[in-house]
Structure 1
Amino acid sequence: MILLGTLVNAGAIILGALLGRMLKRIPESMRQTVMQGIALAVFILGIKMCLGSDNFLLVIISIVLGTVIGEWIGIEKGLNNLGHWLERKVGGSQGSIATGFITGTLVYCIGAMAVLGSLDSGLRNNHEVLFMKAMLDGFSAIIFASTLGIGVIFSAVPVFLYQGMIALLSTSIYSVVSETMLNAILVEVTAVGGLMIIAIGLNVLEIKQIRVANMMPALVIAAVGVPFIDWVSKLFS
């Protein structure tokens, strides 16, 4: 079953978020300190992801153009409206739902494990990488949900759609993009995602409120930018 790994991964996030929701009864002071610790860890994770870039100029251009597009579309506003709707359905605060959803989506979708694991599921029906990712995501979902709120549970939806799409299209992806090019794209997309994760850390620490969701188109620009730069370099070489 091609989607088995993706289903297990999404299920682990849902289960982890539900368990984390049960830990909401811990004292407020303790939860606040734990959340600050998580924010620092997320901040360092983002820095580590950024340092892997081979073309930081592309990262900067992607963030700038992606943010312009995101602000124009109003992604953050749309997610806030979604959070307001979810608030009426499941309870909780709109801010926590939006923050949990965005944080979970970025952390669980950005990175090599999500892409390579999905490709392995689709091409070889091997789900070991996604099973390992499911364990990591499930445990982190417990922590995120206990501090950021129930919004983390909804990140299972984009994880399922994102990884499932890659698994189903795995054969077509390799017919269009070589393994070397795919790895190069992953490096730059991960770096752009790292900057966005740093912004999430700043938001959680309440140092500066950044509209991270409006930066999300930068991921697409980075993915397209890598083969475009390669094509231009070959054209003028």
Structure 2
Amino acid sequence: MLSLLTGAAVNCLLILAGTLIGCLLNRKTLQKIGERIFEAFGLLVCAMGFAGSSQLDHIYLILASIIIGVALGEFFDLDGKFRRLAEKLQTLFTHSKDKPFAQGLIEATLLFCIGSMAIIGSLEAGINQNHTILITKGIIDGISACMMSMTLGIGVGFSALFVFIYQGTLTLGASLLQPLLSADIIAAVSTVGNLFLIGIGLNMLKVTKIKAANFLPAMFIPIMYALICHLFIK
């Protein structure tokens, strides 16, 4: 069981290492450089989202997933709950108001959790015990955490906890639901995730203020659809 979580664990350790390096490098002379790199990274995130969502072969399932998932996220106010949790963590672990702890935690968690590598990597680890994608993602996340923490501080590092829970749950779930996860279902989940990745990139560029956390349930609607079909439509 523990071997299934190897990729998720390595991913989180690399996020923590990148955050530590970024915080150590955070000096007045380097902060402006970090801000510019952060903006460039926002453009890269948008490009990744556009590239990953370019295939809309299952448009009706994707559309239904967005409508139902976003409605659920908004109804339960996931973004608000996540933000309040981040503020509580800030109170517990730091007394400084200079760094946007909550912003760093939220943006980093969403960035590291939403995207095709997080989804497909977790599914690959759960189904085939292959951790290559998650470890590769961990290297990218570690570099990203370093860049983000130079601007947003230590809150970025706390995202590792949520990344481990998220990717670990997906990995364990994939190992249990392996017969239901066809290539079409995985493609639909990945496409929905990449659409929301565009929103995260726009938020990083301060173009929008999208409540991306409220979009998370939409990524699981295709899996629920597959489960319902399996149980009731033979």
Task: Provide TM-score, normalisation by structure 1.
Answer: 0.80
Give the gaps of 5 or more residues in structure 2.
none
Give the corresponding residue for 2:163.
159
Mark the CA change 1:62 to 1:143 in structure 2 (over 3 Å): closer, same or farther.
same
Please name the residue that 1:205 is paired with.
205
Aligned residue number for residue 67 of structure 2: 64
1:136 aligned residue: 140
- Total equivalences in the alignment: 230
Q: What is the match of residue 32 of structure 2?
A: 29
Within 5 Å, give how 1:117-196 maps onto structure 2. Answer: 117-118=121-122, 121-122=125-126, 125-174=129-178, 176-178=179-181, 181=182, 183-196=183-196
> 2:92 corresponds to which residue?
89
| C-alpha separation in 2, matches of 1:150 and 1:82 | 15
- The change in CA–CA distance for 1:59 and 1:115 in structure 2 (over 3 A counts) is closer
- Secondary structure at 1:149's aligned position in 2? helix
What is the CA deviation profile of residues 95-118 of structure 1, one whole-angstrom value per residue up to 9, with x for unaligned ones?
943433333333333445445544
Closer, same or farther: CA 35–77 of 1 in aligned 2, 3 Å: same
Unpaired segments ≥5 residues, structure 1: none
Q: Is the 8 A contact 1:87 1:94 kept in 2?
A: no
Structure 1 pair 7–74 and aligned structure 2 pair: CA distance change class (3 A): same
Amino acid corresponding to residue 141 of structure 2 in structure 1: D
Deviations 1:60-104 (A, max 9, x none): 332222222111111111112112112222335599434333333
Quick check: 1:184–1:226 contact (8 Å CA) kept in 2?
Answer: no
- Is the CA contact (8 Å cut-off) linking 1:106 and 1:193 kept in structure 2? no
Contact 1:35 1:148 in 2 (8 A): no
Question: What is the alpha-carbon distance in structure 1 between the residues aligned to residue 187 and residue 97 of structure 2?
Answer: 35
Alignment correspondent of 2:22: 20
Query: Could you tell me how far apart the structure 2 residues matched to 1:115 and 1:207 are?
Result: 26
Determine the structure 2 residue equivalent to 1:107.
111
Q: Deviations for 1:126-172, whole angstroms, at most 9, x for unmatched residues? A: 54443333222222221222233322212212222233334445542
- Please report how far the alpha carbon of residue 120 of structure 1 lies from its aligned counterpart in structure 2 after TM superposition: 5.1
Q: How does 1:34-45 map to 2 (within 5 A)?
A: 34-45=37-48
The one-character-per-residue Cα deviations of 1:178-213 (angstroms, maximum 9, x if unpaired) are 5xx1x3222222221122121112222222211111
The structural deviation recorded for 1:124 is 5.8
Q: Is the 8 A contact 2:83 2:106 kept in 1?
A: no
Q: CA RMSD in A?
A: 3.1
The structure-2 alpha-carbon separation of the partners of 1:64 and 1:98, relative to structure 1 and needing over 3 Å to count, comes to farther
